[in-house]
Chains A and B, each alone.
Chain A
Amino acid sequence: MAVEAQVPYQEAIEVHHPHSWVTKYWFSQDHKVIAIQYGITAIGVGLVALVLSALMRLQLGFPDTFDFIDPEAYYQFITMHGMIMVIYLLTALLLGGFGNYLIPLMCGARDMVFPFVNMISYHVYFLSVIVLLASYFVPGGPTGAGWTLYPPQAILEGTPGVDWGILTMLGSLAIFIVAFTMGGLNYVTTILQARTRGMTLMRMPLSVWGIFIATVLGLLAFPALFVSAIMMLLDKTIGTSFFMPAISSMGETLDYSGGSPLLFQHLFWFFGHPEVYIVALPAFGIVSDLISTHARKNIFGYRMMVWAIVAIGVLSFIVWAHHMYVSGMHPWFGFFFATTTLIIAVPTAIKVYNWTLTLWRANIHLTVPMLFAIAFVITFVMGGITGLFLGNVIVDVPLSDTYFVVAHFHMVMGVSPILVIFGAIYHWYPKMTGKMLNDTLGHIHFWVTFLGTYIIYYPMHYLGFVGVPRRYFANGEMAIIDSSVEMLNQTITVAALIVGIFQAVFIWNLIYSYFRGKDSGHNPWKATTLEWQTPETPPRHGNWEDKKLPTVHRWAYDYSVPGEEDDFVPQTVPQKAVQAEPQSAT
């Protein structure tokens, strides 16, 4: 028996309408404005991190050439680059940006359930970015402890930025977590309690599923980072010994005693590993929608895709110590964590197979978003396979702290999610602005980025195999290092600089198309999901018609349905009344 239809509580609410320029564009409570604010801030700070990586590559490719890059500066580049990319760019853009934009539109809500807190969330995030960037203007500069910030070195003399940089970094992280929590509570609650009628959980587009589970992971994993940031701040400022054992530094015995550096590693990675999936799961979800839409075919194995996302989310909490195989842990621990790590390959492989099978004999449209989506599948398989190497203790130990690790995590959580983000921006830009992005510029951007990342990261696997250690300022005359390394490093640097510079094409495209782009209409990709069915493009504040939310009649993937006139059926179109559906499908 069908359950009686419920009325979504947002059906009849009045949204908080802006009255002035400030409340419309700066202190706006509209989830779409907040999303774009998140997006612009994240891309802006991401460009800073991109410049930092270019500086690092200059040093690695051409050591002893650039006077302004000394070892201290190099470590500061590494630390800031890593932290910005992982947290302030990827997490903020995927959840704060796409999460904010897509959740209410795709679920058929007018806005987030608590728009005021959602607004505050962005401004607190903005504050955390300011505090982070302030690192460059404090005495001693930003911290150079590496993005993992391992104590004791992170707060001891000798590490760059030990006086101020580490404080701004930890403070900024704590502020970011507060911001994320405020946003994240909104995302989760909106998905759980504010969908429109007919939008059951198993009809939600996979983008929403990915963002949903990733946000849950964030709400449960960021507390560990928050706690470790507070404890390290206390160790640094008032001299507690949470993470600090009895230690002497620079010939001087310090006042610390009895703390546990390993405790920090456990807390950090209890956050750090789920963080990988906080970045990956939204990308998984979004890419599923891109592939299905641009291949004009329903996603293969929708339910499997959903449960794979859930399974990956659960498993991600019991694998963290695979980042610590060389920390001296008991071999049985290594055995346990290697097992759980390799089990994650199962749901992940299900997803890859399903993407591939969605493409199988599909009507593939090689649009720019589709190119990025296919590129993602390729780079993700690449990065995932090297993950199997590093998940095994016995293989990981010799590869630990080499460029193999750098290549692995850049492929799997650097390049892959970024490709999805690019694809997603090309895909949803028409909805955000009403204009299409320029196709030619898009193709140039795609091919340089995609091929460039291979030239950058492929050779790094080799560098790792020959034993080049990561995080070294310069390799010098190390006997173990082959002479081939030097030329490879130069090649990588040149490729990295070219790819970096070509991102300007993308930025230019965003600006140019906003003013001169072709009008997109409401649904340029002929997509089925709700956000393309809004009465206006870009959707107005409140998204839907007054007092009437859309009703959803089907799942999000009715592409190329036999017997239908168009090759897509939007979710709002009712099922045909008389249709002999086989009842045996139970």
Chain B
Amino acid sequence: MAEATGWRNLQVVDDWAADVEVFRGVPWGKAMMWIFLLSDTFIFTCFLTAYMTVRMTTAEPWPNPSEVFALEAFGVPVPLLLIAIMTFILITSSGTMAMAVNMGYRRRRGPAALLMVITALLGASFVGMQAFEWTKLITDEGVRPWGNPMGAPQFGSTFFMITGFHGLHVSAGVVYLAVVAWRVWRGRYEKQGYDIVEITGLYWHFVDLVWVFIFAFFYLW
């Protein structure tokens, strides 16, 4: 179909000039999800950069995250206990998601849907624990977005804004997973294939990865 004259038939040039598709064999939905995630990365990067900036500009001392986020277990305060559990759950959910993708491509739609539901449940429990964490901070520690007894008001404002925005992403992901799992279960993708499971997975892993950065920058710093 395409002509083959001059430099145009060199393999390298053809690849770079990309006939029809730049990413060969990649469904458009997957490409679109990657691009969306790139854009979303910039949102979280701006949030985290803003957090670091106000942490530097504020004149008041920054509360010690190890103490603020400690939980009492067997009478001993354990720093970051709840956060450790939450992180573990979220990373586990990435594992079940990866298994769901595998099952999808093997066209075993029962296990694929089941694993997606498990992933969604793990995500929902993450959001639940986050709600618990927020409640504890607000009622027990007196942290508010505009101030807190331990020091810099930016501690509360960045915490609620960033974890809140991430929590919204997780919640949206739970809904997204549930919808796709339902459709997989019903056999809606039998004809077009199970790329959608991987696309959903991309989003889920992204949300997971963002949490790792929030964890590192907010709780460990």
Contacts and interface: CB of A to CB of B under 8 A. Distances in A.
Interface of A: 1-3, 5-9, 113-114, 181, 184-186, 188-190, 192-203, 219-224, 226-228, 230-231, 234, 238-242, 245-246, 255, 257-260, 263, 267, 270, 551, 553, 574-575, 579, 581-583, 585-586
Given A260-B54, A263-B54, A230 B161 contact: yes
A581 B50 contact: no
Nearest to A221: B42
A241 B146 contact: yes
Given A193-B31, A234-B157, 11 more contacts: A2-B4, A5-B1, A114-B32, A193-B23, A193-B26, A226-B46, A231-B161, A245-B57, A257-B60, A553-B3, A586-B6
B205 to A, nearest CB: 19
A492 B18 CA distance: 50
Given A259-B154, A575-B5, A239 B146 contact: yes
A241 B28 contact: no
Contacts of A203: 17
Contacts of A184: 39
Interface of B, secondary structure class, is helix
B84 interface: no
B42 A583 contact: no
Interface stretch (B8-16, B71-79, B87-95, B132-140): B8-16
Nearest to B41: A223
Interface of B: 1-11, 14-24, 26, 28-29, 31-32, 35-36, 38-40, 42-43, 45-47, 50, 53-54, 57-60, 145-147, 152-154, 157-158, 161
Contact of B28 (A113, A197, A267, A575): A113
Nearest to A204: B17
B42 A258 contact: no
B35 A185 contact: yes
A263 B57 contact: yes
Contacts of A270: 46
A201 B17 CA distance: 5
Interface of A, secondary structure class, is loop
Contacts of A258: 54, 57-60, 152-154
B57 A5 contact: no
A195 B50 contact: no
Given A189-B35, A242-B54, A226 B43 contact: yes
A227 B31 contact: no
A2 B14 contact: yes
Contacts of A188: 32, 35
Contacts of B36: 181, 185
Contacts of A3: 2, 11, 14-15, 19
B154 A219 contact: no
Contacts of B42: 219-221, 223-224
A195 B20 contact: yes
A192 B21 contact: yes
Q: Choose among A7, A193, A234, A270 the residue with the greatest number of B CB atoms under 10 Å from its CB.
A: A193
A202 B29 CA distance: 24
Contacts of A228: 46
A6 B6 contact: no
A193 B154 contact: no
A230 B220 CA distance: 25
Contact of B161 (A1, A234, A263): A234
B14 A227 contact: no
Contacts of B50: 227, 231, 242, 263, 267
Contact of A227 (B6, B11, B47): B47
Contacts of B40: 223
A575 B8 CA distance: 13
Contacts of A553: 2-3
A585 B19 contact: no
5 contacts: A185-B39, A193-B22, A200-B14, A201-B18, A223-B45
A350 B19 CA distance: 27
A185 B58 contact: no
Contacts of B22: 192-193, 201
A180 to B, nearest CB: 10
B59 A257 contact: yes
A8 B7 contact: no
Contact of A6 (B15, B21, B145, B147): B21
B32 A113 contact: yes
B5 A581 contact: yes
Contacts of B21: 6, 192-195
B53 A263 contact: yes
Contacts of B39: 181, 184-185, 219-220, 222-223
B19 A241 contact: no
B184 to A, nearest CB: 20
A534 B161 CA distance: 50
B90 to A, nearest CB: 23
Nearest to A264: B50
B21 to A, nearest CB: 5
A239 B145 contact: yes
B28 A585 contact: no
Contacts of A224: 42, 46
B42 to A, nearest CB: 4
Given A257-B153, A575-B5, A219 B35 contact: yes
Contacts of B158: 242
A199 B5 CA distance: 16
Nearest to A575: B3
Contacts of A186: 32
Contacts of B54: 241-242, 258-260, 263
Contacts of B5: 575, 579, 581
A579 B3 CA distance: 12
A196 B157 contact: no
A581 B7 CA distance: 10
Contacts of A196: 20
Contact of A242 (B2, B11, B35, B154): B154
A200 B19 contact: yes
A190 to B, nearest CB: 8
B72 to A, nearest CB: 29
B145 A234 contact: yes
Contact of A585 (B6, B26, B35): B6
A197 B14 contact: no
A147 B166 CA distance: 29
B114 to A, nearest CB: 28
